[in-house]
Amino acid sequence: MAGDRLLVPRLEGVSQEQFMQQLYPQRKPLVLEGIDLGACTSKWTVEYLSQVGGKKEVKIHVAAVAQMDFISKNFVYRTLPFDKLVQRAAEEKHKEFFISEVMDNFLIQVTGKKRVVLFSPRDAQYLYLSGTKSEVLNIDKPNLAKYPLFSKARRYECSLKGGDVLFIPALWFHNVISEEFGVGVNVFWKHLPSECYDKTDTYGNKDPTAASRAAQILDRALKTLAELPEEYRDFYARRMVLHIQDKAYSKNFE
């Protein structure tokens, strides 16, 4: 199992002003209850969605197992009529992949139930990352022989029901399991100034431009170190790591 387990706070009756001025600056997950989402919370049934969507073709991910892996890409793309997609979704439990994004996100649970587990970006060193995704797919029964540091990661949990809205700050890793058929809507927005983002990045999957440049500079530095013998390369690479830890890490990350 992972390390500490904390419940994501739940608040009811939060106004827009209260959220923006008091809660949003804290940069922590939060479940908002009692928000008026309109008739969709009762209207969006399997039958209604199948009727409205009809035979319109949509592209989906299809995997042989419930747990899709976006690192090994254990899925293929298929095209299904929308009504067939809804009926299929109503019969399956789906485990969404474990990923971070560079935009803030409201996960609006319109109908149905989800379990969401989140990990702070401050625990990134324990999550065995490949890009923005974690190699640890089964977070409830992780292979600690293969991923021993995962036990140090602090786990935040919540259950969402119809009408709940989960605020997921940018960079927070999240794993989502649908416990019954339901509809969720994600709303993303930019927390940083627009010039910080890649202009071709629609869904917040790419690193901010400054982070991309820094990674490119680091790659060039490592290639330069490769000109040295192994003993020297190892020593100076370790010095670089210590220098980054000393200069770049915020005290808030301790």
Whether residue 112 is found in the same domain as residue 213: no
Residue 203 lies in a domain: no
Whether residue 135 is found in the same domain as residue 20: yes
Whether residue 187 is found in the same domain as residue 152: yes
Please give the tally of structural domains in the chain: 2
> For residue 15, what are its two tokens?
């106004």
Whether residue 149 is found in the same domain as residue 223: no
Whether residue 216 is found in the same domain as residue 186: no
Q: Which residue among 196, 218, 236 closes a domain?
A: 196
Burial grade of 232 (CB within 10 A; 0-12, 13-18, 19 or more): exposed
CATH of the domain at 64: 2.60.120.650
Whether residue 135 is found in the same domain as residue 69: yes
Question: What is residue 24's three-state secondary structure?
Answer: helix
Whether residue 224 is found in the same domain as residue 160: no
Whether residue 37 is found in the same domain as residue 163: yes
Nearest to 97 by CA among 146, 63, 144, 143: 63
Per-residue pLDDT tens digits of the chain, which is 254 residues long: 446 789 999 999 999 999 999 999 999 999 999 999 999 999 998 899 888 888 888 877 776 666 666 677 777 788 878 888 787 777 766 556 677 889 999 999 999 999 999 999 999 999 999 877 899 989 999 999 999 999 999 999 999 999 999 999 999 999 998 888 889 999 999 999 989 998 888 777 788 999 999 999 999 999 999 999 999 999 999 999 999 888 877 554 44
Amino acid making up residue 220: R
Q: What letter would DSSP give residue 64?
A: S
Angle between the 209-225 and 230-248 helix axes, to the nearest 10 degrees?
Answer: 150
Question: What's the domain range around 36?
Answer: 5-196
Whether residue 41 is found in the same domain as residue 134: yes
Residue 167 lies in a domain: yes
